[in-house]
Each structure stands twice: as C-alpha cells, then as structure tokens.
Structure 1
Amino acid sequence: MGQSTAAGEATPATMRAVVVARPGGLDALEIKEIPVPERKPGWVRIRVKAFGVNESEVTTRKGEADADVTYPRVPGIEGVGVVDQADVDSGLWPGQQVATMMGGMGRSYDGSYAQYLTVPSEQVIPLDTSLPWDVVGALPEMLQTAYGSLTISLGLQVGQTLLIRGGTSTVGLSAATIAKDLGATVLSTTRSRERAGELTAVGVDHPLVDDGTLADQVRELVPDGVDAALELVGCSVLADTLRAVRRHGTVCFTGALAGQWTLPDFSPFMIPRGVRLTSYDGQAADLPADVFARQLRAIAEGRLKVPVAKVYHGLEQVRDAHADLESGTTPGKHVVVLAG
C-alpha cells in the first residue's frame, strides 16, 4: 500500500504537544517536545490547525474518565487541520482540509492537543471551506453529537416540537440551530433567566427557565407533550424530561451536565406509558461529509450560528481554556488555534 506525503517543507522529527503524564489539576497539562507520530497503514497524519476544548478532556486530565484512558496521554477528542500524510488510495491528499473526532483519540491513543496527530482514515472528514480555523475548530464534536442525536436517535422531522434540556451548553446551542434548520419548533432550557437571550439568539422559539421541574412548563406550551426531547442535563432530571414528551414521542439521553450518568434504582416503569427512551454515543461516521459541508455553507451564509465562547492562541493557553471551561461563566465552545 503506497502513501501520499506532504510536499514542500519536510515534516519535522519532533513536535510540541500538551501531555498529561498523570491525572491532576491544571498543572497536569504540560507542554513537551515529543516525536511526531508515525503513520500506520490505513491511518492519516494531520497537521493540526485548531481544536475544541471539551468536558471529556477535563475528565481525562483529572483522571475521572473511563478505563480506556491510559497515561501519559496527549488529550483532545477533536481537531481540524490539513492532511500531512495518507495512503494513496484513501481519497485524501496532502494539504486537504479535514476534521476528525472521537473514536478513541485523546483517550486510548494521542489526540489533538499537538502540532500533529494520526487517526484511522475512516475517522477523517474532508472539508473545503474559507471559514477561519477558529470557527471550523469549534464544530466537529459539537456538530456530530448534536446532529447524530437529532437524526439517528430522535429522527426529528419537519414540523415536530423538540425540547432541549441543557440548552446553553455547546451541544445544546448547536442542536437548536440544526433543529431549526430541519424545520422543528424548539423549546430549550437555561437555569438562569438572564441567559434566555442566548437561546433566542440561536433561534430557539421558547426559552424556558429550568428549576428542576419542567414538564408542567412544557405542557402549558404543548399540551400533549413535545415530539422529542434531547437530554443533556442527566439522570437527575430524566424522569421529569420523560413526562414532558407525548405518547409515542422519544427522549434521547446524550449528556449529563449535572454529573449524574446513572440511576441507582432504575425501574422501567419510570418511563411513562408509550414514551420511548434511547441514547446517543456516536462516532465521526455519524456526521457525513455532505452534511458537514451543508453546515459549513449555512454558517458561511449566516443561517447557522457557531456558539464560540472564546478563542485561545497556542498550546500555552490550553490551561486557560480548561480553567474557563470549568468555571462555566462563558457559554459556548472554547477553541485553541495553532500558528502556522
């Protein structure tokens, strides 16, 4: 199997990367000079231009992630950049814009907090856009999770009503813009009345203040219950979310912003009669290249808004990005852009 390698300037032997040698606080994020990863057959080496910072990487840094995370580790579950090296039959070529996310990157193998990374070719989405890297870098995991939840798990249709619980999260804001583009009526939540304007700004039809019991508020607007609900807050409010959905409607459990992923004494009878409960835990393939391209065009044309909280420049600011993300004071996506 042959390979296609970047022309012009040779790839260096070493690179700068953020490495977590052992779990800890912000000081566990150390910038080190390490070898540029060797590309295996069937994999692609990418020169990283930008990456989003996610809760998953915070848990990896703290040592609270699943057992598949090993240390030392370069974190980063998503990234965008250009192809540096690929198999000649992969359909990818050096210099091509690409995005990648999930699939074990930053967890079971090194991720995007680096100048270069390698990933399986099936995990790479080709791009062609003039949008700046800070915008593109905010998108992969956010769009994949939101789009996959709405289409694969909920099967959202034109004219349906959707409740997003956890609406001011990055996935919640992204899901609202996608759902509106799909033709749905969107109800979305915030815990603070002062943040309702953030929901209106991305097209939410009915911003709701979530005090922990939401079903009655929803049914005042939609008496029979909504067609679909995207649960991003977690199991602490899941029973209430289920009560907000109509018979034969569906709730998709995608996230647990409040930290509770399980129910200690789960009974199937907590699910209201006729309501369906599913989940979403997807991969890069759930966001097809043509769908990503449509989203990029919609952003470029101003029809979709990207909820970017803050842009950071260089690996030196990764600690700042983690601190800001944990503080929860700035809604939207935190994005790190690399020079070059």
Structure 2
Amino acid sequence: MQVGAQILCTVLLLKPGTWTRNLARILRKVFLEKFSLVGMKHIDLTPKDVKALLSSEAKQDPAALEAHSSYLTSGSSLVLCLQRQNAVKKLLDLLGPEDPKEAQAANQFFWRAQYGHSLIHNGFYGSTSYWVAVRDVKLFFPEGLCVAGHPSLDGQEICTVAPDPTACLEIDKQYRLVKREARRQLNLPGPEQSQTLECSQLSVLCQATCLILPEASLWKVSPPPYLVLLERLIGQGFLVTGARLTTMDKPRACFISAVLSATDREAPVMCSQLLKGTCLIIAAQRDNAVVCFDALLSSDHCQKQAVSDCMKQLLYPKTEKQAEELLCVLFDSLTSDSSYQIEIQDP
C-alpha cells in the first residue's frame, strides 16, 4: 500500500439492504472524512463480480463463497469511487474489521459496526490495497470518473471526465417504464427484509420520479447541502431506486431542458446549467412522488434553509410523463427493490 500525502482513489461498495434508506447518512460520513465523490452508480453484481471482490480465504471455502454470492446477487448495490489523500488506508480504517461483531467490540463508530449484521451481511466492501483499488475502479467504472485528470489516475490508465454511456439520447425511444408484475424477495438481514412486498400490495398511488442536482448544488461546501434534501426525502418515505454521478453532453442536456422547461426561454438557461460540470441523478419512489413533490418537501413548517437553497437548483419532473422520459434517458435499469422497471420496447 502506498504511503505519504498522495491523492488516491478507492472504491466503496454499499451492499444490498444497506443504502436505499440510508444513503444520505452514509454520504454525510463520507464527506465528513474529507473524501471527494468522483464516481457513483447502482449495480447488480454477477457471481463473477462477487468472486473478484472476495478474499482468497473466502473463495477457497465453498460454503462461504456460496453465502457471499447468494447475498450479494440478491439485490442492488451502490458503488462509489472516492478520492482523497491516502484514500485506501483511510477508508479501511473507517470500515473496521470485516466481522461486524469484532468491529462493535473494537469501536462502535466503525461503519461496519453501525450497518453490519454478520460476516456475510457486513454492510460494505472497501478496496484492500492500492492495486486492488485500481482494479476495482477499472471494473466498476470502465467509462471513466467524474474528475479532472491526475497523475495517479493517468499513470494507471483510468479515464477521467468521461460522459456516461448509460445516459444516451436515443434511449427514450427504446425503453419504457413499467410496474413490476412480481416482487423478488431479497436475501436481506434485519428490518429491510420486511420492506419487500408483493406487487398486489403496493399502493396504486406509487409513482417513480427522477431528480437532477447540477454541479452548482453539489460541491460548494462540505458536507454538501443536498444531503439535507436527501435526508428529508427519505424521511418523507421516498425509497431511492437509482443513483449515478455523470457529466452531461450537449445533446442530453438539450433533451432534458426541452422536457422540463415551461417556456422556450427557460430551456437554454437550464441546458447551460447542466453543462457546467458533474450532475448527481437520483431515482426515487413513493405515493404521489411526482404530483405532490413540492407539497411533500414544504409540509414541514421548520424546513431547513439548506433544503430551500437546494430546491432552487434542483431539476425534477412535474408530470408522470416527464418522469418517465427522464428515467428512461438517464437510467438503463432501476434497483431490484423498485416497484418499477425499465424495459425495452417492442419494435
């Protein structure tokens, strides 16, 4: 592992059941430890991915390999690429021992002590060395990171400032948003398990929405003010069903601006806003998520100023049609616990 005051990247993977209702709290921990977020996406791990992440000891134990694989492929994970001085060692120091019981005994503030339940369901994976971090970045972010070039990245042939290939201008003509016919029971520990319902039990009022936070609302201060907005959304019953950090190209920015702008004059201003840098895109659902979004966020008479400030920068749909258009142009899939899925349309 490299030492010294070097700006490095590392990968933090939030395992199934850990993040959809805890995303704001976990990101707050990340920023308080002076990490920069340079990559984010939700993924469904394959058995091959799982094997790449496990220690040699776990891979040599067939029972442990099966248990890890069964859990990690049972639901969606969120993978983050983090950057700071000595990022790899710092993250490992924060996570603590892989066994949450050992972590709790050593320090109750270890992240695995707070979010883990067992050696299998331990909340997080973190790159275990500099070279493993390089491998992990290339595995999970082959399209590149949302950060300017840096010698430590250029030297390892890691792409930077790359447009997100998932968000393609033509994708809305190929995909549609549909409610799931059946819900898959996730192999999750603790209270998250009871949150998976059959589709027939889901409220007919459930709606999916898409929130876009442009560069101006992301990095002015640390921790960034949008965390208060995310905390409020989750507190209001929103379930995060997708997340990604991306840089917009002009065709996508123009398309989104055309969808969301109320007047022709608004579109160029919005397009310029989207092109200024990195955007954080969140998919979420709850009853009346689209039609009552403004009312849901303003219902608390003690609304924090940070939420009001963030709302001025936030871009979001006002109709279900707009929401579907944005989701289908910015995501190719939603998380496994979403009530909706994105499907390829018949030609």
Normalised by the length of structure 2, the TM-score is 0.23
Structure showing greater relative contact order (alpha-carbon pairs closer than 8 Å, 6 or more residues apart)? 2
With the length of structure 1 as denominator, give the TM-score of the two structures. Answer: 0.23
The structure carrying a bigger helix percent of its residues is 2
Task: Identify, as 1 or 2, the structure richer in strand.
Answer: 1
